[in-house]
Structure 1
Amino acid sequence: MSRSHELQNKSVLVVGLAKSGSAAAKLLNKHGAKVIVNDKKEFEQNEEAKALHARGIEVHCGGHPLHLLDRQLDFIVKNPGIPYSNPLIHTALEMNIPVYTEVELASYLTDALMIGITGSNGKTTTTTLVGKMLEGGTRPTHIAGNIGTVLSEVADKTNADETIVAELSSFQLMGIDTFKPHIGILLNLFEAHLDYHGTLEDYGKAKARLFKNQTPDDYCIYNAEDEYVEALVQDVKGTKVPFSTKRVLDHGAYVKDGQIFFNNELIISLEDVALPGEHNLENVLSAVAAAKLAGGINEQIIKALKTFGGVKHRLQFVTTHNSVKYYNDSKATNILATQKALAAFKNPVILLAGGLDRGNDFDGLIPYLKNVKAVITFGETAPKLVKTATAAGIKVVQHVDNVEKAVPVADEIAESDDIVLLSPACASWDQYPSFEQRGDMFISAVHKLR
């Protein structure tokens, strides 16, 4: 049963606007809370603050003054990006004022079946894939959270007969109290966001909060091949459902003889799965487990696995031209991401890479360049990548001005069954405002080949 009535007359301070803060303020106001909004951007340049002020909501802009804590607050909803070291947030916690993220509001607003997905890598791909697996079922399914639409906003429009698949970050999960997914997935854990969390241990604890309120009637899907993940789920109360790409399990999702199984039931052959790469196989296994536990039907699960080629800019299949496959992995803004992309292919690869580096060299790519027949570089980092490719013994190394010019050069080099892969290993900011625009330029150039 929805607990939205519990928000009535609550005194709530929303700190930090952007998309999640604005949505939280509107929802709290809608459900009868007494809302105060605070954002560091000056009111004159703050369109979100102006819109909330027009609704009659009290707004304070231009900083985070401590006097906002002088009134009797029931709790604070903070934007996930604001660190807990912020003086306003730090002082509020010292005063024992609860500090949540808008994800917590979802637990007040809906009884929908909740599937929560977190991990260092693969969240967006897995969330999207689970959503596609549940399409067309008896329960309307919505995708929300860190992937796009604010979770609490979606929650407010759903009921117990519906399903929400939510991508959740560690920042969001640090600010929950009663929030509970019926099905939770922890994909993996790598060192990331340590500037925010401080240590890998604290980062892992934030991720594991996904399971903190689960009971044995709920499910904890976890990566049985990740030692950090295994340690984090040791004491969860939810029913544990492992997945593994490396061994056959007594239950859960696994690979055997080139086929995917869930709880010993054959689901699909690996050769029929559209998503390439070992790292994506982990995402596939976890998605199969979640979809099956959520009541998904095999026909739709199999259809999704055969047709879903990846999230845009994340090892995304673009098209086949003259028997050559083109993949857009513009999201690969560091060496680790490009290593994973290269490891996904066994066919000869023509690698398009370059952009703005972070002062690093690229020697870490050399062991992954064995299948690479040519490297086409662009951007500020081009000289470093030329050096790396030459050291790896690659015979064809060319430099061009940008991604758009790299594509026709790759087309000239490519032979039947080759892979042309944009996986820059660098940020985009030297030439493009975002990795998304860089990827869009690649896609456009590929389609112009026709």
Structure 2
Amino acid sequence: MKHDEMESLQLDRLRNTVGAVYEHVEFYRKKFEESGIVPADIKGLNDIAKLPFTNKQDFRDHYPFGLFAVPQEEIVRIHGSSGTSGKPTVVGYTLDDIKVWTEVVARSIVAAGGEKSDTFHNSYGYGLFTGGIGLHYGAEALGMAVVPMSGGNTDRQIMMIEDLKPRGICGTPSYMLNIAEKMKEAGIDPRQSSMEYGIFGAESWSEEMRIKIEQTFNLKAVDIYGLSEIIGPGVSVECHEAQDGLHVQEDHFYVEVINPETLQQVAEGEEGELVFTSLTKRALPVIRYRTGDISSISREICKCGRTTTRMSRVKGRIDDMMIIRGVNVFPSEVERVLLKVESLVPHYQIRLVRTEAMDNVELHVEVDTNLYETIAEDLTDTRAIQLKIEIQRSIKSACLISMDVVLNSPKTLPRSVGKAIRIVDLRNKNVVGV
């Protein structure tokens, strides 16, 4: 679709959405009134900047159904994401919403290289989490044979991959590396599997992680993005042709990037916080939802031929960003460095600790079996000490900060079966980032 045609469609759908939330959602009606806005004020897409923001706390404050825009009898599905105090962020879907969700996921799978005749292995978690069921419905709509494995039980995952020979797979990138490790332990070469493409998301991952997965499995790895508050997976996806930014499903979601401090839109190509407005959702339309994810957007036409706006790979979350001695650092930046260091496996953890009155950062990494055996399992060996120095220098050069590096023996750091926990705050013994 040409850009002007897309904008015309988006404006029509935006005006309909604004009218619906003003009429049916008390929260939005009050927010609009406080801002002195009525639906008729939305005359062009630029007028979206007049609308108030929505954030995760608004979902919590109106738990469970306070933001729904349709009667309960029209709701056919409820999902939820993890929340504080044991309460999830609840989202609902009408039958039309499910159809839209299914369509955008089906598009995403095709963009990733999927075909109707494929067997598709789904290792995303099923349940309240939107990942597993979201990919499942999209793949079924294409006519694929879906293997609904969910997460965990890695030995069984491997058996199904070996026996059913799927062409495609989906899951979190960290769990894919867990599967690869278990395959190698069982004497199976991941590069000899039937899988030709993988659709990975639900956590931030670096270009170096992509290269590691592609080299390990001999497949093409693409990034998929979504969040339950907007719809679930399928909001955007990389194409297998270019793997250069994620194509936003713009006919269903309007994307902005703002400065998280000034709340003003930033220029195209500039990093900031992603903000999404749903354009076709009926059960739970969302106006200018602040995702907390750091990215940028580009409207240049992709070499694959798709004309939709593309967002860059998510760099990290605002609440994941660490400020270390005045320097802002995201876990993904640390990951890029570690995956280039030989003798390390791709599992790590950043631990925030307090030493006397000072806050410090410990970077826990794991050496591979070859090095461990070479140094006779002695992590104080000269070669181990040299490895620590190499890591510290690389982190200092790339991230401009110093970290205390702690070497761990093989298979001692946690393995992920879902979203990887990268930051652990041991100052208060609380997990602060995923």
TM-score (norm 1): 0.28
Larger Rg: 1
- Which fold has the larger relative contact order, with Cα–Cα distance below 8 Å and residues 6 or more apart in sequence? 2
TM-score (norm 2): 0.28
